Amino acid sequence: MPCWRSRARDYVSRPEVRILLDENLDWRLCRELPGHEVESVPLIGWAGLKNGALLAQAEKRFDVLLTMDSNMVRQQNVARFRLAVIVLQARSNRLADTRPLRPKVLAALSSVQPGTLAVVP
């Protein structure tokens, strides 16, 4: 069961995006992404997977990987995966620092395509 899934009737104007939160993000960020199905790496038992293995697993079940790992961009060729990666740039990975990025993340979710990378400052 996803850590958060809002009721479809509340968000009928846009399709649900399947989002995976990387282990470097607070799982409670799930609650900040209404209208989407959101899971967290640790909660589904994928904690400790290296970036390449994580992307390979994630592309099978998710549309977007949300992370704060800026090294992933340099280490992985995101274009070869069938999911988008959104990298958050916040002061820290604490919920208090990532929550304010919510409007920008929701905007990015409406435009990212598989195999692309978006940075949310």
Q: What per-residue confidence (pLDDT) applies to 72?
A: 85
Note the pLDDT tens digit of each residue in 40-58.
999 999 999 999 999 999 9
- Report how far Cα 77 is from the mean position of its chain's Cα atoms: 17
pLDDT class of 74 with cuts at 50, 70, 90: confident
Q: What per-residue confidence (pLDDT) applies to 10?
A: 44
Residue 14: which domain range? 4-120
Cβ 72 vs Cβ 117: under 8 Å:
no
pLDDT class of 11 with cuts at 50, 70, 90: very low
pLDDT class of 3 with cuts at 50, 70, 90: low
Total domains present in the chain: 1
